[in-house]
Structure 1
Amino acid sequence: MRTTSLLLAASIPAALALPSFRFSADPTELAAQAFSSAQEWLGNAVQGARGEVEQYEEVMKAGVKAESVGMGGIEYLSVTHPAFPLHRLRVVEPNICDPNVKQLSGYLDISDEKHLFFWFESSRSSPKHDPLVLWLNGGPGCSSTTGLLFELGGCTIVDEGQNVTYNKDSWNSAANVLFLDQPVGVGYSYADSGEVNNSPAAAEDVYAFLILFISQFTEYAKQDFHIAGESYAGTYIPNIASVIYSNNLALQVAPTPGLPQLNFKSVMIGNGLTDPYHQFGSVPDWACEGDYAVYDPAGSECAALRGKVPRCQSLVSGCYRTKSRFACVPAALYCWSMFSELQELGLNMYDVRRKCDKSKDKDGPLCYKEMGWMETYLNKPEVKKQLGAPSDITFQSCNMQINQNFLLQGDGVHDTASLLPELVDAGLRVLIYSGEADMLVNYIGCSQVLDNLATTYSTEYATAQVKNFTTDGGDVSGWTKSAGKGAGNVAYVAFYNAGHMVPHDDPKAALTMFTRWIQNKPLA
């Protein structure tokens, strides 16, 4: 496989019952009685709410065991939960770049053999009230620390990896953000044995991590929860969403003391591979007729590219139907071969506005020299220790072995979009966004994912008006359409001046979109 395979219900408690008071004909006395009663009611309300929160946290903590443990010269907080006997959370508190926010990092240990790394940044605005957001990068095999240090985290990598600097457009301006290196083997994550090679299995590990996290850090347990990510996260996220939805349903039917439900509100997928049938089919449309077309629409290159689509889509249909790797692997190999000639153009396939020299001393194999900078920074012994990473782990921005493992299961050619309609109809909101300069997972195909998503909002979405997407400063940064109230139950945003990694390419516009979406305010 060539490098083009890398993609990148609330009730009022009894304490809040309104008090009664004796009416008086004297207006002054009546006002005094009303004021006194209001004070009494407010006091009861606050005490009742505080009691409910404390009771909820006590239930959440039931059975959760937290203790200090030392490993490899690092002192961790170790957290276990009886519902997940094979899992343990190890946590440290780093202080990198932004000392004004709470940071947590460490590992989810699975059966003492697999270890998932995470890094958490609390909100700069209102950590007690802002939502909790899980961010995932793609690959498969690429670290979500890319999102943190290169795109939307509180720190940005600089000085050839010797330092990091404050990012004023970080998404933790409006949310508490979790960055998770998954599946096992990605970034700082590591395995003694038993690496994961498919998205459904990886989703189960992610769910266990999330439950352990909110069981220990209960201050984030009742807040709205969203999942966001880009690239191959378009395959990860529907699988994770499906696991969360199924477990939440099971807990509603049979509540388990100490086992919380995630207050799951939405997913956000940026330039994500979610529906390969339509997305591979859109490659000639983008390359020959899109806003950043690279071929003459009447030329031989376009004719050849269009000629490959029927075979690709036929193979993908077989994969959708059988879900067998014997059908899915040939589909993946053939469909990705559509990019063979495109990658010879010397362009950055993630952002065709840029040239790409893949030599190590230039842009590097992924066309961004900052990927190498991150490896320099995250392999510093002092950084590893502060983040709770073992000294003998070598950080890689992208692990090509993981990429190959998923490819050889045909994982990336499954119809993960088919997991979404049931969730949307149950109330989960879905946002897909795209940078128009991305060649690998192009904006035309991404928009077709929603065009072909069969939900209760399909008719409304099909007839929805396309509107300008404008930042708070008045700049027109792209276009959007949606169906449903507020920001929408299904919504799409295209960014004119961005490629595969929208938060890096157009940070202000990306933050505007993110903030409006999690606050459920109209995107346009």
Structure 2
Amino acid sequence: MRWCRGIATALLAAVAQTVVAAPASAAAGSSSHLNKRYIEERDGVSYNVFEHHETGSKMSFVKNSGICETTPGVNQYSGYLEVGKNMSMWFWFFEARNKPAEAPLVTWFNGGPGCSSMIGLFQEHGPCQFYNNETEPSLNPWSWNNYANMLYVDQPIGTGFSYGDDPVNSTVTAAPYVWNLLQAFYANFPEYECRDLGIFTESYGGHYGPEFAHYIQTQNAAIDSGEVTGDKLALKAVGINNGWFDSTIQERAGIEFAVGNSYRPLINASTAAQLYEVFDARCGPALDKCVATGGDAECADADSICINEIDNPIAAITDFDTYDVRQPSQDPFPPNTYVDYLRRPEVMQKIGAKVRFEACPNAPGEGFGRTGDDARSFLDTLSAVVQTGIQVLLWAGDADYICNWMGNFHVANAVKYPASAQFNNATMKPYKVAGVAKGLFKTAGNLSFMRVYEAGHEVPYYQPEASLQVFMQVMQGNVPSST
């Protein structure tokens, strides 16, 4: 692992000039001297380019575009990393508004699979949001970059602004490309490499979060043993809201939530009883077969059976938004104003985007569908991550159906780690912000679960103050606590 270097001022000076590869005699055995930095003008855009020798990656980014984050003195970088041949992964980085030289680095991944992390940036916890039906964004006072340096990533390839060939067809195959991006990011921005690292994600992040964290920890061990060359990543915490972890647990919980959520019943008790029978006869056994065989066909079949015979019938009975049961299905919420904004030619040019933005294109998700990735359980992987002792927060808005809080609660109770019994026996207690209850939570050891009141799938949109508070607490290495 590299020794820790200075803060951003030295780097900003470095990227402002062309730096060529040093002669071999000047740095024998030091691959860092084979890296290159230079300025490249393309299509009227000035890109800072960094070629990373160790991973064979090339990063091209725009510095301080003036889009979204307009707080004076706060740096931002947006652009692409070539994580493979003809594979350009989009990232957008924002420095912390407060003490960026000391703040941790947090990566954010939206789910899908195949949904852009610009959703999290513009609708949830990024530096700006669209308020009061305005078409221009305004500063978000509850942005997570109040506390942390935030890195938003569009993955896999084909998602959001990312483009090129997409070889990723599962959560497991996605992880190495994310690690590749972080390796190149640290090499270009070495002032962040010794900081605490957080992985926060949602929805399909119930797959992404455990696997990405586990892969990073596995790579760290391989670096220690000399099997892998790279920078160890100081993973501090993982946070997953409204995650999809385990279909066997969560498909059944979908019925439980549909009949018993605190807002409105989506089905009656008689229909629920019928669906439980369907689960026991069809969905559950298909998922068991997926787990037993691990085959793509079996897992894809299980996913199809459960969706068609459990989820779709519930959605057909009552008109509701699966991401917020309080809303009708035909009225997307939160509003998608950011999509048109990111498609404006002048905005694309300023941030260095090269392709038309697509929030949730079909192609990446179809690849996952063919391998049945959705039906695969990541509960064991989650347990392995919790067992390493880092802080793990599972939290969920209680108005979301598709990855509802009841299923997330059952998943949390199923995690196996030294404090499992204590966690299962713990009583849920109010989580307060300035004395006002925003939800319920429980903690044992390094695992916490939180049910967030009056929140749909995108929790930080609905409860921004509470989200920022718990985000900061977890990233500081603490368990959630009321204020």
TM-score between both structures, scaled by the size of structure 1: 0.82
Contact 1:130-1:174 within 8 A present in 2 as well: yes
Question: Equivalent residue for 1:208?
Answer: 180
Question: Equivalent residue for 1:144?
Answer: 117
Which structure has the larger Rg over C-alpha atoms? 1
Following TM superposition, by how much is the alpha carbon of 1:401 offset from its aligned partner in structure 2, in angstroms?
Answer: 2.3
Following TM superposition, by how much is the alpha carbon of 1:255 offset from its aligned partner in structure 2, in angstroms?
Answer: 8.2
CA distance in 2, matches of 1:491, 1:256: 33
Unaligned runs of 5+ in 1: 1-8, 10-50, 358-362
Question: Equivalent residue for 1:243?
Answer: 215
Following TM superposition, by how much is the alpha carbon of 1:292 offset from its aligned partner in structure 2, in angstroms?
Answer: 3.1
Following TM superposition, by how much is the alpha carbon of 1:354 offset from its aligned partner in structure 2, in angstroms?
Answer: 1.6
Question: Equivalent residue for 2:226?
Answer: 254
Contact 2:79-2:352 within 8 A present in 1 as well: yes
Question: Equivalent residue for 2:410?
Answer: 448
What aligned pairs does 1:113-262 form with structure 2 within 5 A after superposition? 113-158=86-131, 162-191=135-164, 193-254=165-226, 259-262=230-233
Does 2:425 match 1:479?
A: no
Does 2:234 match 1:263?
A: yes
Question: Equivalent residue for 2:424?
Answer: 462
Deviations 1:233-277 (Å, cap 9, x if unpaired)? 1111222112111110011122877x3111111211110101111
CA distance in 2, matches of 1:175, 1:387: 21
Question: Equivalent residue for 1:334?
Answer: 305
Does 2:285 match 1:314?
A: yes
Question: Equivalent residue for 1:370?
Answer: 335
Relative to structure 2, which stretch is displaced further, 449-458 or 334-343?
334-343
1:313–1:218 distance in 2 versus 1, CA, 3 Å: same
Contact 1:60-1:215 within 8 A present in 2 as well: no
Following TM superposition, by how much is the alpha carbon of 1:102 offset from its aligned partner in structure 2, in angstroms?
Answer: 1.0
Question: Equivalent residue for 1:360?
Answer: none
Relative to structure 2, which stretch is displaced further, 155-164 or 67-76?
155-164
- Give the counterpart of 1:386 among 347, 350, 359: 350
Given residue 391 of structure 2, which amino acid in structure 1 is its aligned partner?
R
1:207–1:161 distance in 2 versus 1, CA, 3 Å: farther
Deviations 1:96-123 (Å, cap 9, x if unpaired)? 1333211111011133411110111111
Given residue 265 of structure 1, which amino acid in structure 2 is its aligned partner?
K
3-state DSSP of counterpart to 2:450: strand
CA distance in 1, matches of 2:461, 2:365: 23
Deviations 1:47-69 (Å, cap 9, x if unpaired)? xxxx96469x9989554322222
Given residue 182 of structure 1, which amino acid in structure 2 is its aligned partner?
Q
1:224–1:522 distance in 2 versus 1, CA, 3 Å: same
CA distance in 1, matches of 2:301, 2:382: 25
TM-score between both structures, scaled by the size of structure 2: 0.89
Following TM superposition, by how much is the alpha carbon of 1:207 offset from its aligned partner in structure 2, in angstroms?
Answer: 0.5
Following TM superposition, by how much is the alpha carbon of 1:461 offset from its aligned partner in structure 2, in angstroms?
Answer: 1.1
Unaligned runs of 5+ in 2: 12-26
CA distance in 2, matches of 1:494, 1:113: 42
1:63–1:430 distance in 2 versus 1, CA, 3 Å: farther
Question: Equivalent residue for 1:12?
Answer: none
CA distance in 2, matches of 1:441, 1:253: 39
Relative to structure 2, which stretch is displaced further, 200-209 or 236-245?
236-245
Given residue 224 of structure 2, which amino acid in structure 1 is its aligned partner?
Q
CA distance in 2, matches of 1:111, 1:522: 38
Following TM superposition, by how much is the alpha carbon of 1:429 offset from its aligned partner in structure 2, in angstroms?
Answer: 2.4
Does 2:86 match 1:110?
A: no
- Give the counterpart of 1:291 among 246, 262, 277: 262
CA distance in 2, matches of 1:303, 1:420: 31
Question: Equivalent residue for 2:275?
Answer: 305
Following TM superposition, by how much is the alpha carbon of 1:405 offset from its aligned partner in structure 2, in angstroms?
Answer: 2.1
3-state DSSP of counterpart to 2:456: coil
CA distance in 2, matches of 1:369, 1:353: 12
Given residue 428 of structure 1, which amino acid in structure 2 is its aligned partner?
I
RMSD of aligned residue pairs (Cα, Å): 2.3
Contact 2:159-2:364 within 8 A present in 1 as well: yes
CA distance in 2, matches of 1:468, 1:497: 14
Question: Equivalent residue for 2:474?
Answer: 517
1:65–1:408 distance in 2 versus 1, CA, 3 Å: same
1:61–1:128 distance in 2 versus 1, CA, 3 Å: farther
CA distance in 2, matches of 1:314, 1:521: 40
Given residue 445 of structure 1, which amino acid in structure 2 is its aligned partner?
G
Q: How many residues align?
A: 454
3-state DSSP of counterpart to 2:243: coil
CA distance in 2, matches of 1:54, 1:149: 31
Does 2:308 match 1:351?
A: no
Question: Equivalent residue for 2:15?
Answer: none
Does 2:360 match 1:398?
A: yes
1:159–1:475 distance in 2 versus 1, CA, 3 Å: closer
3-state DSSP of counterpart to 1:340: helix
Contact 1:117-1:189 within 8 A present in 2 as well: yes
Following TM superposition, by how much is the alpha carbon of 1:165 offset from its aligned partner in structure 2, in angstroms?
Answer: 0.8
CA distance in 1, matches of 2:451, 2:398: 7
Question: Equivalent residue for 2:45?
Answer: 74
1:54–1:368 distance in 2 versus 1, CA, 3 Å: closer
Relative to structure 2, which stretch is displaced further, 409-418 or 339-348?
339-348
CA distance in 1, matches of 2:119, 2:177: 21
Identity of aligned residues (%): 31
Following TM superposition, by how much is the alpha carbon of 1:521 offset from its aligned partner in structure 2, in angstroms?
Answer: 3.0
Contact 2:320-2:326 within 8 A present in 1 as well: yes
1:349–1:296 distance in 2 versus 1, CA, 3 Å: closer
